[in-house]
Structure 1
Amino acid sequence: MPETNDLSQKVQSLRDQLNNWSYRYYVLDDPAVPDAEYDRLYRELKALEEAHPELVTADSPTQRVGDVPLDAFDQVQHEVPMLSLDNAFDDDDLRAFDNRIRERLDVSDTIAYVAEPKLDGLAISLLYENGELVRAATRGDGQTGENITVNARTIRSVPLKLRGDNPPARLEVRGEVVMPHGGFAELNARQEAAGQKVFANPRNAAAGSLRQLDSRITAERPLEFYAYSLAQLEGQPWPATHSAILDALKHWGLRVNPEIRVCEGVEALLAFYHGILDKRDKLDYDIDGVVYKVDRLDWQRDLGFVSRAPRWAIAHKFPAQEELTVLNGVDWQVGRTGALTPVARLEPVQVGGVTVSNATLHNIDEIRRLDIRVGDTVVVYRAGDVIPKVVRPIPERRPADAQTISLPSNCPVCGSDILRGDGEVVARCTGGLICGAQQREAIKHFASRRAMDIDGLGDKLVDALVDEGLIATVADLYRLEAARVAGLERMGEKSADNLIAALETSKKVGLGRFLFALGILQIGEETAKNLADCFGDLDGIRHASLLLLLAVPDVGLEVARAIGAFFAEADNEAVIDGLLAAGVTPQSSGQPSAAFVSSLTLAHLLKSAKRLGMDLEGIGDKTLETLGSHFASVAALSQAAAEGAGAEPGGVRSGVMVQMARALAADDWQARLQQAEQQAASLAARAPAHTESRPLEGQTWVLTGTLESLTRDQAKQGLQQLGAKVAGSVSKNTAMVVAGAAAGSKLAKAESLGVEVCDEAALMSVFKENGIDPGAL
């Protein structure tokens, strides 16, 4: 008997530890241990429970794997109806809602509301009795839902047992199940690889996963749960406010969305709305608006309900991201790299607050997969600054004369053959330098305002210079002579002199802008800036190993390969050398980022090598981190690997070093890792000893009006270099508003909120004091 008691206590201790770690991970967003440690204890618990099944309990973390398939879902009658919300579609609707609230309550002061993102998932109800999860149900029609308890139990952020020694006798929680974007992409990739149906969006994927009759399938899906309200509470007193309810839910172990805020008054609600709208595309889950609720529960009771919606809450919807329209035709555009991109010509339609008449169709494979045809009614999607895209056709609306879309056999610009390699998604024009689209677009991009900003070198002048044979590459621009330029149509001596002067001025440009100007595939302004900040000079970037590039923020596998391929191309290198020889001098600190250099550990190099194809299959990132921290260098790791089994450091399973030895010997990986290690050491020798905080770190600035001595983009880049975030709207959290000529509503709002305002001269003084040269931005 004592041995059984000891074993039972051991199993319960493991359960408690794992549940506590899950609480830290999901609710507090404060992981207590690495995933490997959680997995180790989980395996230990599972082994003990398999050996002693009588010790298995319903709340054990091992009981989330799903059960035998159901024939059908049982119906559930909601004891407290799951109601819908009225909608506000603009700021005036929200102000009207706030006015109604204050009038009904006879309150003249501001009302405290709870503002939360409106998650675009599936609403469910969780019922706990004496702390144990006993039922989960879908919303259904609000009165009747489906019993999905076996499926909800597989979701790790749904606690099977509430925390605390004195849980409520009865607790009904309402919340939303969503599928994160990363998990959604991985799920669709698995579905496609298995030849199964892919999901249209994360909401459909979440709903479909929760309604699986086989809960073992649900257990494999990346679902997350966020609690947002309380329907029943017995055995404990109700909190006085909705915000206190959310705190209580977190105390009991339920996850609450971290973006939720208490806001005083309607202006604070609007600031929250616009702030979360700006942040929307950076969240890892879909939202389609914001929900506002009166915080005080006694006021909620006083306000009551109308029809099937509460008077004390409202949903403030975002502009629609999807709409229907007709596909009128397809144009094939040739990019700077010769890639052909199909562009949909649409019947104009309002999507996401703007009129959309063109949208991307990605590539011919996507067109064929979706079976999109000219004449189809199609779904168009646009979110924030994302390029509008055609999501799918509506087959039942297809006209009889709908036309199949085919890849052209010849370049629509120069007539050269179109080449599409085996396994390649992108089709390209083989015309190279003779293709006007590639040649001209590369030069136009190089000269554009956000790149080298060569004043006066517009599209028509570029066309004229190319047509006359005066330039063939961007390096040729700096060899132009004023006399020859003056002879072009619509040019004269003064215009030619101005162009030569502008070219001279552009020679002194920030390294980030120079990199962006080169037109490297997949390199936007932000990634170019990150490259410049991390490496500190052009030479380091030109020769950087892909293993180092993968440590740069926003640089993933495909981007790193694009950068490496660009600088490995001799013609590209020749053009860069030509630019430098002509006096173009990219401005940079000359020092690599200390934070970047510190990230170039042996563990990072190993993990990056695995992403690039080094055969480390089955060796997890945690093991690679252990190896990286244990061995001082690639040479030390290689020497230990040569010793084979038994050379593994503590915590690393037997056999890893044998596999590591094989992987290092294959495809020259040891030499490649050592080369990257040497480059990292060279960068470290030039890096500052520590990362100094930037003077405007953590501050939010807003630019409004017209600036005279620099462009809005230059001002923004300068502020970002000093650590500031540059926002598009003013709120009480704004640190400073820079007001140029003809400043309007943003200035007025800053003054009403008491936000500090400065003029352009003050901004220039800030730049001067901190060594920022606006001309080099």
Structure 2
Amino acid sequence: MSVKEKIEALRQQLREHNHNYYVLDTPTISDYEFDMMLKELQELEAKHPEFHDPTSPTLRVGGGITKSFNTIAHEHRMYSLENSYSKEDLEDWEKRIQRILGDAMVEFTCELKYDGASISLTYEKGQLVKAVTRGDGFQGDDVTTNIKTIRSVPLQLTGDYPPKFDIRGEIILPLDGFAKMNEERITAGEDPYMNPRNTASGSLKLQDSAIVAQRPLDCLLYGIVGPNTGITSQYQMLQKARDWGFKVPTIAKLCKTTDEVMSFVDYWDVHRHQLPYETDGVVIKVNSIQHQEELGYTAKSPRWAMAYKFKAEQVSTVLNEITYQVGRTGAITPVANLEPVLLAGTRVKRASLHNADQIEKLDIREGDTVFVEKGGEIIPKIIGVDFSKRPTDSKPTQYITHCPECGTALVRTEGDAKHYCTNFYGCPTQITGRIQHFISRKAMDIEGLGAETVELLFKEGLIRNYADLYILTTEQIMPLERMAEKSAENLVKGVAESVKIPFERVLFALGIRFVGETVAKKLAKAFKNIDALMVASMDELMAVDEIGERIAQSVVEFFQNERNLENIARLKSYGLQFELSKDKLLNQTEILKGKTFVVSGVFETVSRDELKKLIEDNGGKVGSSISSKTSFLVAGDKMGPSKRTKAESLGVPIISEFDFKAMIQ
């Protein structure tokens, strides 16, 4: 046997043993035998670098150093899930699905919701080429080197896998491995880690992959995205992923009714504590991939999936003090400062009290013993007061009347739950809050500039608004605390680079009240440039899809303010993008303006997503269900008969994909 053949044979044997041990949990050789084979392969590879293989099992031991993790855009966005907490929530969700799908038979796949760090793995020709954290859903950090050390992540697939696809899952830390890590830390005189989820997430960003390799991380997969996968259902997808070599838990069930779904939920709400890893709920997905495509997405979540969250853990502790925070829009948020308490694996010291009405409704007072839980097991909230422990000298909470930052009298408009500080251009916290929003990742994403640096620059009088960022110099920044020459240069460079950020994100960065990411994209698409948007009337704004009176009023008021216009003029002069790029404008028309299309079925020449994009690119609107407002139903193969019946009963024209293409040509 030649050296090359010996290396290949060892690699193949080690891959099989690795899969048996870490994925199937059925080892066929001892740890010692495995280590000896791995050592032999390492020695052969060191002597013969000409036979290098990026999928070699020797990469599992780590050793690569990553000093900075590059940000990479997801080819397919990673959405978050809508949460439910009751059977009624699920039934309402099912009704919404049936309204869109008609009388189609809907099945559901139920899977456990793993409590870890979300990851997207990209495979090309069966090899792992990229691993990216969830980030903000649009882009995340490249952690490929660290992910390759996790034994349950296959570096080379087997079977009939597609040429290219992404697979999503969670990086978790099993409970026994977490306990062992903490035992070692305590023995070494170090503080134990707080919880498995945060420890797993933190492990992905360690610079030395050899340290990551020593941690007992695991990877559980649940979703495949990509074109032409040949997969027709979620349940089939789970089995295919197992066949290709991925670790996919077998705890999944195909259900036909909400009652069956709730039986699965109720069983695992009780038995989840017997699992080797943490889970905080059940994910219910529409099983048919065709139905998933037809249901599509909202701005944040897939319409075809729902997370049922198990009842949140609850603790009691003392509320020491109520303080008040000022947001960038002037909104006041009361905050409960608590006696620190351990809740769902983290130490909680603060909780939101939302607004004055909530404080009055629950009669929350300083000195009270309060019940705290995590909303969705993420954000702590106070849900009640233990009145039996209330101090005898307790006094009702008097909500503040003036801004805690600038002393301006607070106002509260009718129908609004929040109090506001109206000193928009003079309140320091509002000013720095707007600048911090401007530089944030989803907005201008300015490298080298963080919230603390913004506070420092403002305190030193170097910036008073976000336009001032573009006239900062290295010489001005270097004398500041914690600012070396390199840091100052990076900050100035990061600001200069941000002029390339596209118009829709610049519009979001301006911080117009009620204009979030999705609304900014819709406004940018509708008006094409800032000049047209600045002179738009209320009626013109409200004619844009999903723009109501409240948003329209806020936009009009923003552009009526002279200071805002002055800042925009300055930003224009510094080269920021205030119109849609040529790429975005390419092939965009108003041919379908005023028309609403519902898309259903499977198409020959385009995917459903491509068809929806063509509708929007040509000024049309995509509807989710047929109504009297629907202009056309674009019908493909396998469309449900109820959709056709409803369209015919309402007199909605039914056209083919070829009719549609002729319409836009």
Q: From the CA coordinates, give the structure whose radius of gyration is larger.
A: 1
TM-score (norm 1): 0.41
Quick one: higher RCO (CA 8 Å, sep 6+), 1 or 2? 2
